Chain A
Amino acid sequence: MSHAPVVFVVDDDPSVRSSLKFLIGSVGLQVESFDSAEALLQRKLPDAPTCLVLDVRLRGLSGLDFQGELAARNIRIPIVFVTGHGDIPMSVRAMKAGAIEFLTKPYRDQDLLDAVRIALERDRARREQEKDLTDLQQRFDSLTPREQEVISKVVSGMLNKQIAGELGTAENTVKVHRSRAMEKMNAQSFADLVRMIEKLKGPGEKVS
């Protein structure tokens, strides 16, 4: 799936904007720059790890407001803030809202590039995790209702015999369901299966 990562730069100062693009581009990253938060919102985000280098002081929507706006739209792009004059409450607010880094201009180039790398790495990991979960869910959804029922009981610690009793069926039938489910879920071991189901249950409680 993964395309090359893209770094978005939003700064309303043209020379800062173009020099940032140059600097980030100099380490081989793809950069797109915008002069306002509104302009970036017009852009459809690519199917690739991304991050945002955002000036706090912008004409129009401020950087901090933009951070809130992105969260409200459920756009989870990691943000590296840069500012000409950062005070402590401002940076605390930004970091609490999930910013990767809050750099005061002029910053060391290495600090900025490190922050961008961390941000891209975090976005990549998030995307991977989301993808894993999607795959897992698809596999789980491919089970028959009875197979789903059986493995739910298996991972909750019940013995085959107990499950058979509860479902009013033969123990051998339960064993068949169980091994088919293991196969479909691509589980290497019983422990592996438990981990998968726990993951699916995770924050979303997707297992019925």
Chain B
Amino acid sequence: MATGTQQAGLPFQQAVLDRLGIMPNALLCAPEAPEIVEWFWDFVKGMFIDNPIASLFKERLFVYLSRFCEFRYCITRHCGFLVGRGHASGDPVVQLETAAQVIRLLKKPSPWQRDMNAVLLRLEAISTPIDWPEPETELEDCLFAAATAVYVEPRLRDRERAALRNALGGQRFERLIGLLTLVRAAHHWTTLHPDLSFEDDVRHMLEQHDELARLLLEDPEASRSEMGVRLFNEVELLRDLNKQLELEKAKQALEARYREAEIELARVSRLTTMGELAGSIAHEVNQPLTAIMNNGSACLRLLANSNLDPEVLRRALEEIVADGTRANAVITRIRAFIKKTPAEKSELDINAVIQEVLALASHEVHKNRAAVESELKETLPLVQADRVQLQQVLLNLIMNGIEAMTAVTDRPRMLWVQSRVDDSGDVLVSVRDSGIGLGSEADRVFTPFFTTKANGMGMGLSISRSLIDDHGGRLWAAPNSPHGAVFSFTLPAAAGSPP
């Protein structure tokens, strides 16, 4: 046994030499932290060397699993053990393998190239747990295939796991899982030390056996246990699953989640567009507007007294122009923001949208001790509209109605939502409340930045109106009798939709 790197500077390194017969470079690769290497060695000892699995089964499985590691250190090192350089599985009396045996091992078809169903049926048929099989037997082959599948795609291989447990019994099965864990850790350890070089004995082996060297160094399966590849495989497999009975269930679940996400989106975008954004924009637009009006008014006053110095006028006009430019820049930004999400119109049942929004608002309704009555006309024509935008408009009207009733204590807080077809054949939706009403402000509520609410931004209704305008409809407000307000909008029926 020829090895060039025989050192035993630390006590545990002597133990390594005793057990393995050689000093693998993998246990010399972190000289700055010998305690970590020692701990790693303890791990190797516990999970591999002292793990009571038959020595050859263990070592052959280590080699076979190392096919699926991109970094070639482990596979060559353990091949070295198998053909007699060092002690395979730390067992000094294990029967050695020939190069031809190892080549056969490496040439076994991987689980992705064979009929796994047959393998699993074989293992599932075992009625009394078996002991570790001899090398190159049919049972070893089946166990290797199942163990490899579990090793590479743990989350997709429940059946393989159950078959292994059935064939080996619980105790051996858990020992096997311990071994798989160690192999994964060893691969990771070596991959994270890419400077690791082959030991001299292994180099020698590679030089002597061309075919073995080729198999060891160029295995096409090498990248299979890489994370990206594994995830890709899992996704591929899930796609297959979809074709089967799972399809319908998965689709339904996805649809439900999609709907939830959509409603959440409507809520969030309402809050964003009409809340925070509008608040700061109101301020930003009002500043230059105020400056323009101040300057203009001052000029008019001075002019009226024939007291306006042309130089003063020039300066004021310059400021007016500068502030006009500034206001325009803000408005351009708003427009760009609103246009960022183009409307996606499809044929919708407005009643379904109303129901969704009512469900969404039910918490607020309840919280404000209000009640909702909806009167939705069945068999309405469909409308061509963007679902999220309609949700925004409806949510806005309903929330406004609820907020208009918070001060009401002498009568029920009622919200009525109604849908029907109006005289011109358009779909008409109205939201009535028994709140404080609009008073003399009915005309102004659609003006940007106008608000009657304690913490309103004055943007909701103006945005709502522009959204309904974009859909070819109208949105307007009127007093409700005897209390409150009624907001109504129309949407044209989609072409070809039955009235």
Contacts and interface: CB of A to CB of B under 8 A. Distances in A.
B241 interface: no
B8 to A, nearest CB: 70
A106 B320 CA distance: 14
Given A16-B290, A23-B297, A106-B290, A88 B454 contact: yes
B287 A15 contact: yes
B279 A85 contact: yes
A22 B316 contact: yes
B298 A19 contact: yes
Contacts of B323: 15, 19
Interface string B437-452: 0000000000001010
B457 interface: yes
25 contacts: A15-B287, A15-B288, A15-B322, A15-B326, A19-B316, A20-B294, A22-B298, A22-B316, A23-B295, A23-B297, A23-B298, A25-B298, A26-B298, A57-B283, A84-B283, A85-B286, A85-B458, A87-B451, A87-B455, A87-B456, A88-B453, A105-B286, A105-B287, A106-B286, A109-B297
Which 6 A-B residue pairs are closest in the complex by CB-CB distance?
A109-B297, A19-B294, A84-B283, A26-B298, A15-B291, A105-B290
B286 A84 contact: yes
Contacts of A84: 282-284, 286-287, 290
Interface of A: 13, 15-16, 18-20, 22-23, 25-27, 57, 82, 84-85, 87-89, 105-107, 109
Nearest to B326: A15
A28 to B, nearest CB: 9
A19 B279 contact: no
B215 to A, nearest CB: 72
Contact of A19 (B291, B301, B302, B455): B291
B292 to A, nearest CB: 8
A19 B286 CA distance: 13
Nearest to A112: B294
B301 A16 contact: no
A70 B65 CA distance: 79
B319 interface: yes
Contacts of B298: 19, 22-23, 25-26, 109
A27 B454 CA distance: 35
Given A85-B286, A87-B456, A107-B290, A19 B319 contact: yes
Contact of A16 (B279, B291, B316): B291
A85 B449 contact: yes
A26 B287 CA distance: 20
Given A105-B287, A106-B293, A18 B454 contact: no
Given A84-B282, A85-B457, A88-B454, A27 B301 contact: yes
B310 to A, nearest CB: 15
B289 interface: yes
Nearest to A13: B287
Contacts of A106: 286, 289-290, 292-293
B287 to A, nearest CB: 5
Most buried by B among A19, A82, A87: A19
A82 B279 CA distance: 16
A106 B294 CA distance: 9
A116 B288 CA distance: 21
A4 B288 CA distance: 30
Contacts of B455: 87, 89
User: Which of B287, B299, B322, B326 has the largest number of chain A CB atoms within 10 A?
Assistant: B287
A16 B295 contact: no
A16 B456 CA distance: 24
Contact of A23 (B284, B294, B458): B294
Interface in B316-357: 316, 319, 322-323, 326
A106 B282 CA distance: 10
Contacts of B284: 84
Q: Which of A15, A27, A89, A109 has the most CB of B within 10 A?
A: A15
A166 B458 CA distance: 73
Contact of B290 (A19, A26, A87): A19
Contacts of B457: 85
A87 B297 contact: no
Given A26-B302, A89-B454, A105-B290, A19 B282 contact: no
B338 to A, nearest CB: 19
Most chain B CB atoms below 10 A, which of A16, A25, A85, A87: A85
Given A26-B297, A85-B457, A107-B293, 17 more contacts: A13-B287, A16-B287, A18-B319, A22-B295, A22-B298, A23-B298, A26-B298, A26-B301, A26-B302, A84-B290, A87-B451, A87-B454, A87-B455, A87-B456, A88-B453, A105-B289, A106-B289
Contacts of B283: 57, 84-85
B294 A109 contact: yes
Contacts of B302: 26
B434 to A, nearest CB: 21
Q: Which of B290, B291, B316, B453 has the most CB of A within 10 A?
A: B290
A167 to B, nearest CB: 64
A18 B297 CA distance: 13
Nearest to B284: A84
Contacts of A19: 290-292, 294-295, 298, 316, 319, 323
Interface string B308-320: 0000000010010
Contacts of A26: 297-299, 301-302
Contacts of A57: 283
A18 B284 CA distance: 17
Nearest to B452: A88
A180 B297 CA distance: 58
Contacts of A22: 294-295, 298, 316
Contacts of B289: 105-106
A191 B456 CA distance: 56
Contacts of B297: 23, 26, 109
A109 to B, nearest CB: 3
A109 B288 CA distance: 15
Contacts of A15: 287-288, 291, 319, 322-323, 326
